[in-house]
Amino acid sequence: MAFGGDFEQQDEVISEINMTPLVDVMLVLLIIFIITVPVLTHSVQVELPRASNSPQQDKPSTITLSVNAKGEVFWNELPVSSTELEVKLAEAARATPQPDIQLRGDRTVAYEHVVKTMAAVQNAGLLKLGFVTDPSA
């Protein structure tokens, strides 16, 4: 009694896909998924305490120092002398938080005027000094 025929005499190529292993793998994956999902979603119900911790951050103000072509210094568009500048910078250095200083220098101003303004900012103890430029020029 031969059930499957003789293997040595079969020269044909089997062109059918055997679906049995694929179905077995899919059933195993489905069973694993069914078992693990309730474990992952189940949690102990705990009433957690509520806290109203919102950090209060005061944004520092911004002070614009401008130096025109003549070497005159302007504090937020208002002209100031060198002594007034030092007094205002000292007051700004004592503020909490310290303001940001933006320094604008005219293109044709002598470099020494900008350096003197920078030195006054540094001597006052201010930590944040930035330069404003015109990117289109």
Question: Domain map of the chain by residue range?
Answer: 62-131
Amino acid making up residue 69: A
Q: How far, in Å, CA of 13 to CA of 43, rounded?
A: 55
SS3 category, 92: helix
Per-residue pLDDT of 81-137, as tens digits, reads: 999 999 999 999 998 889 999 999 999 999 899 999 999 999 999 999 999 888 876
**Hey, what are 18's tokens?**
């055997």
Question: What global pTM score does this model have?
Answer: 0.56
Give the per-residue pLDDT at 126. Answer: 92
Give the per-residue pLDDT at 96. Answer: 85
CA atoms within 13 A on the CB side of 118: 10
Residues 6+ apart with CB under 8 A from 110: 71
Indicate the class that CATH gives domain 62-131: alpha beta
